Amino acid sequence: MDLLNTLVDKGLRRELPTREEALAVLATSDDDVLDVVAAAGKVRRKWFGRRVKLNYLVNLKSGLCPEDCSYCSQRLGSKAEILKYTWLGHEEASQAAAAGVAGGAKRVCLVASGRGPTDRDVDRVSKTIEAIKEQNEDVEVCACLGLLSDGQAERLRAAGADAYNHNLNTSEATYGGITTTHTFADRVDTVQQAQAAGMSACSGLIAGMGESDADLVDVVFALRELDPDSVPVNFLIPFEGTPLAKEWNLTPQRCLRILAMVRFVCPDVEVRLAGGREVHLRSMQPLALHLANSIFLGDYLTSEGQEGKADLAMIADAGFEVEGAGTTTLPEHRADVAAAGCGGHGGGGCGPCGDGEATPEAADGAPVGEARTDLVAVRRRGAGTDLPPNA
């Protein structure tokens, strides 16, 4: 297929595809999905070999959020029966992080619900970062605390935070239909604050919220312009009790095409297979490793993921290897710039089916427009509970 040959050549040269080419990847048929995966896999192997980076989430504060993000089980007005608790102490949070590191995680992601941290919250998280680094000197720590105020990024960096996550989630044109309590520009500003403070930027998207192909391409091109070091690709987990509980618009093939498009647009960036992979890719998860070079190990913030040992077995069975602590994730040309302290890379900055309206394709042939409680398991273990974590 001429399109795929062109995209492979561009990816190997780190050349940006055109919007038309990115749209064409999403428009390929299910019959062509293996060809699409094979092509994007060549780009992935060029820059990341067969390494898979493991990341581990620690939910520092669950639920109780004043924001109205429609996709989120922790949102204002959510009726999802998730765990709700206030801030974990830094010792408890450090123990939770240690479980992930013991399971093979190279990066620990500290996440807290809310619009953004207070200065007291920054102090609290800083102590947690310091406690984690004392136990595991080489572990990467990424903070995800919402919108940042002036000076907070610098304080987190001084405490030892290596990265900051703040996702763009969807296109600027459709953002107001998903969230009304903050703007797309607010999110961009926070990512740029993190970069300016010397942290590695982590920013991605959520697919499956009813967006068009054009919306997906728009948000990925916006990410390319922002130039984060890592791009998490989340697939909507439609929690019962949230406004998007009936949005079952993804198939495994659709998810693979989305990941391939992201890889072609961001060839040398850490593409992370994030929330919802078990729900939507299911038995086709191993194919996604040919596109993404990074995954979350174990559970997510409010939902359960695949067993950690199953993640490790999947990686090995698919012919990949877990990235070690002594290995630099990013290609040399990106890692050198990141090490210089800008947290990003020159150029543009210092980090649903078919076109138009979505054609619903519910998982496992379920009736369109119904909640799927059988595929979404609420997290009941790990942080905030007395049960051991899944790592």
C-alpha of 9 from chain center: 26
72 is catalytic: yes
Instruction: Please report the pLDDT score of residue 301 as a whole number.
Output: 80
What are 188-197's pLDDT values in tens digits?
A: 999 999 999 9
Q: What is the DSSP pairing of strand 163-165 with strand 200-202?
A: parallel
For 342-387, write each residue's pLDDT tens digit: 333 333 333 333 333 333 344 444 444 555 556 777 787 788 787 8
Of 69, 255, 266, 353, the active-site residue reads: 69
Does residue 205 surpass a pLDDT of 80?
yes
pLDDT at 338: 60
What percentage of the chain has pLDDT greater than the value 90?
A: 71
Q: Which of 44, 65, 107, 144 is catalytic?
A: 65
Kindly report which listed range (63-67, 80-84, 138-142, 318-322) carries the lowest average pLDDT score. Answer: 80-84
User: Residue 7 corresponds to which tokens in the numbers above?
Assistant: 């995209």
pLDDT at 114 over 50: yes
Catalytic, out of 44, 109, 353, 372? 109
Mean pLDDT of 157-166: 97
For residue 135, give the H/E element and its range: helix 119-135
Rounded to the nearest angstrom, the gap between the alpha carbon of residue 383 and the centroid of all alpha carbons in its chain is: 20
Q: Please enumerate, by residue number, every residue annotated as part of a binding site.
A: 65, 69, 72, 109, 142, 202, 272
Whole-number pLDDT of residue 370: 55
CB burial string 86-112: b at 16+ within 10 A, e below: ebbebebbbbbbbbbbebbbbbbbbbb
Query: C-alpha angle 130/166/37, rounded to 5°?
Result: 110
Is 266 annotated in the active site?
A: no
Q: From the candidates 44, 72, 107, 255, give the one annotated as an active-site residue.
A: 72
Rounded Cα distance between 207 and 209, Å, is 6
- pLDDT recorded at residue 5: 98
Q: Calculate the average pLDDT of the chain.
A: 88
pLDDT of residue 384: 79
Query: Residue 35 pLDDT more than 60?
Result: yes
pLDDT number for residue 337: 63
Q: What is the pLDDT of residue 191?
A: 98
| CA distances in angstroms from 230 to 215, 225, 338, 384, 388, listed in the order given | 20, 13, 12, 28, 29
At 300 the pLDDT is: 81
Place of tokens 């990925």: 220
pLDDT in tens, 275-324: 999 999 999 999 999 999 999 998 888 777 889 999 999 999 999 999 99
Q: Which residue ranges make up the annotated binding site for [4Fe-4S] cluster?
A: 65, 69, 72
- Give yes or no for a contact between 138 and 178, defined as CB atoms under 8 angstroms apart: no
Domains with residue ranges and CATH for the chain = 2-365 (3.20.20.70)
Active-site hit among 75, 124, 157, 202: 202
Query: Residue 241 pLDDT more than 70?
Result: yes
Catalytic residue, chosen from 44, 107, 157, 272, is: 272
Q: What pLDDT, on the 0 to 100 scale, is given for residue 386?
A: 78
Rounded to the nearest 10 degrees, the angle between the axes of helix 119-135 and helix 152-159 is: 20
Return the half-sphere exposure (C-beta side, CA atoms, 13 A cut-off) of residue 220.
32
Residue 142 is a catalytic residue: yes
261 vs 357: which has the higher pLDDT: 261
Of the listed ranges 42-51, 84-93, 100-109, 363-372, the least confidently predicted one is 363-372
Q: Which one is catalytic: 107, 142, 266, 379?
A: 142
At 64 the pLDDT is 81
Residue 3 has pLDDT above 90, yes or no: yes
Residue positions in the annotated binding site for [2Fe-2S] cluster?
109, 142, 202, 272
- What is the mean pLDDT of the segment spanning 190-216? 97
